[in-house]
Amino acid sequence: MEEEAFRLLADAERDHWWFRGRREFIRAALERLELPSSASLLDAGCGSGGNLALLAEFGTVFGFEYQAQALGLASALGIGTVAPGSLPADVPFPGQRFDAIGLFDVLEHLPQPVESLTALGERLTSAGALVVTVPANPWMWGPHDEVHQHCRRYTARELRNHLARSNLRVEYLTYFNSLLLPLAIAQRVRERMFGYSAERVSPSPAVNSALLRIWRLERLWIPKRRFPFGLSLLAIARRRDAAE
């Protein structure tokens, strides 16, 4: 991610409708797992730490991040244990296995997605689960993806394939952020015509609140049901040797 874009995103992570909405769906996914009270959770690629407090509600939280500026911000929060690390070859906390691992809008940045998923799967407990979110729809590729150094946008088929090749069994997979997809398409068209500006990341408070309320409506069916289209994908996967 370009440095200026990263700074703006780090500043917005607490209040921006997209980050707040995504945390609600991450919470729903974690609740679905019915984790033990002594659960250990890992935030793989934790960025500036915006999800650490949420994960800490479900147990003991760990996180790792390769970007030094983001790692410093995450460490300064004082939530859980945060260490430098990267995927696929440098996952920290040797010998530690996790009841849940979160990979929240990280996989699309990685040149080696299957190897990275495999490395995380090997760090799950026998009953552990990997929770993944990624941007969807390759046809929506635009300047936003380039600024944020994405390697790809996913289809449901491609994400399922990458998980299967990583010795992981998909338990649940759905598109989400579906109600706002038309607005996102319009924004991508505008970016292609007039260019992308990182300064436009945060909308006005009124618009921010309205977009969050619209997105929250999707909690009526996620993670109970699956939706066939949306701006993002959410998957829950377990090791293939875990009990069905």
Assign 127 a pLDDT band (cuts: 50, 70, 90): very high
Q: What is the mean pLDDT of residues 77-102?
A: 97
Average confidence score pLDDT of the chain: 91
Predicted pLDDT at 45: 97
Distance CA 59, CA 100 (A): 10
Angle (nearest 5°) at CA 145 between 141 and 148 = 175
Per residue in 14-65, pLDDT (tens digit) is 888 999 999 999 999 999 999 999 999 999 999 999 999 999 999 999 999 9
One DSSP character per residue, 69-124 reads HHHHHHHHTT-SEEEE-BTTTB--STT--EEEEEEES-GGG-S-HHHHHHHHHTTE
Assign 3 a pLDDT band (cuts: 50, 70, 90): low
Assign 198 a pLDDT band (cuts: 50, 70, 90): low
Largest CA distance in the chain: 52
Per residue in 202-226, pLDDT (tens digit) is 688 899 999 999 999 998 888 888 9
C-alpha closest to that of 120 among 41, 30, 60, 22: 41
